[in-house]
Amino acid sequence: MVKEIVVVGSGLAGSMVAHFLQETCHVTVICKGGKANSNSMLAQGGIAVALREDDTFQSHLKNTLEAGSFYNDRKNTALLVKTGPKVIKELISQGLTFDQDETGHLAYGLEGAHDIPRILHAKGDQTGQVVTEFSQSRLDKVDWIEHAQVIDLLVNELGQCTGVTYLDQRNQLQQINGDKIILATGGVGGLFPLSSNDLTVTGVGIALAKRNQVEVKDLEFVQFHPTLLTKNGKCYGLVSEAVRGAGAVLVDETGRLIMKDRHVRQDLAPRDVISRILSQELEQGHDIYLDISKVENFEKKFPQITANLFKQGIPFQTTNKIPVRPGAHFIMGGILTDSYGQTSMPNLYAVGEVACTGVHGANRLASNSLLECLVFATRVSEHILQASQSVSIAKNERLVKKQPEKFHLPNKELLQDRAWQAIGIERKRTDLIDFLHWLSGYHYTYIPTDLTKQEAELADLCCVAEEIARAALARPISIGAHFIKGE
């Protein structure tokens, strides 16, 4: 019997799983927006992989552990960096092309916390889009359900995941059953007012897990990227770390070098370090810019960033400066999985940013996220192909019957502002307690059957905010991206 597979998410991780399974399984991909709405499509930095002759997986492992404050799962991290070269070589052999140098060999970029250049790019700063579109272009046997908001898991009497319930394009409640369910829903960027994430990325996977008692881990580790393009206090996308790798430096309004003497790696220090320093500079009233005067062929190297700068009316060609500030970028924690993407609920898998494999530790090394998608999508697929089918398909009675509990949500902008203050770059125990007390005045722990997509999204954000705050409160010592101030 053909296995029925449901993949929730259209990014690189979900698309790769669908690709690997489509020949032998019936695969349905459900996505909140369209096929192009994912963080994968926005990824500018590239893919970190030890392919150069003078590079080794041991060096890549060392840098990954250092960036992660040695909090990483050593086994899975070694698996990531060892398997990475093989996966990339296979994609190249299948027709995926990466940028080359003037000699016709692969070109490697340098990013923060890497000892040597090992970052592959495709069309400069469009790596994520190129790789994801390449993956999606091969999905010729997959059914798509676009503009669908997944609101809960279907669980049978044995505690096995048997499908999902979702709101379709017309806001009608639907359900789809499957033998294996894969969550590839991305991170939690929508929780914060400044974020590099796609607008559809609002923590739905983690919220689904928490509502169904699926184990999550390390949610306190939220990475804030130092350089989001900002104008009039609003975010207009990411300015890749590769720009600093190419020679850009962080300066204030006077031209002062902000990172000079602040860290041994200066402008290529780990992201959490730079984000905290920039946050302090902003509190002191300074403006922050990326000085790109030393970046050769900026517009050619970074066409996507250049187009965005023109679109937003940034006079970078005359000033050689790009206005930036830190914002939410990536979450290292998520739904706890093993090395094959299995969660604590039978038949439920997680892959990509929504999963916590432990490979990022307390802080992700630059350009390891797309590699994680590729490596673990391969392993999830292998495990599903070898696994037996699930047994009892059953409706989830919690969703079929409307519950009498209260359902009350805060204003989204207010939630984002409160989250930024409490669980942003720098945290305080008193702020975390106050934030949890504020959240307790609302009711979002269950999903009624007659809600709208907007309500479902906001309920997910509240759920995720609570879990991040609880995790941060439970870790009184600063480590990696979790920085808690003394009272």
Active site residues: 271
Question: Are residues 115 and 175 in contact, defined by beta-carbon separation less than 8 angstroms?
Answer: no
Torsion of CA 431, 434, 438, 441, to 10 degrees: 150
Q: Which helix (H) or strand (E) holds 210?
A: helix 204-211
Going by C-alpha positions, the residue among 196, 190, 220 that lies closest to residue 483 is 220
Whether residue 236 contacts residue 302, with contact meaning beta carbons closer than 8 Å, is answered with: no
How, if at all, do strands 427-428 and 484-485 pair?
A: parallel
Q: Which amino acid type is present at position 461?
A: L
Q: Tokens representing 132? A: 């994801």
At a CB cut-off of 8 Å and minimum separation 6, what does 437 contact? none
Output the six-digit token pair for 201: 């990325």
Do strands 47-48 and 108-109 pair parallel, antiparallel, or not at all (unpaired)? unpaired
CA of 2: how far to CAs of 26, 44, 129, 370, in Å? 7, 38, 31, 30
Extract the runs of DSSP E, i.e. beta strands, from 41-141. Answer: 47-48, 108-109, 119-120
| Of residues 161, 323, 164, the one with CA closest to residue 239 | 323
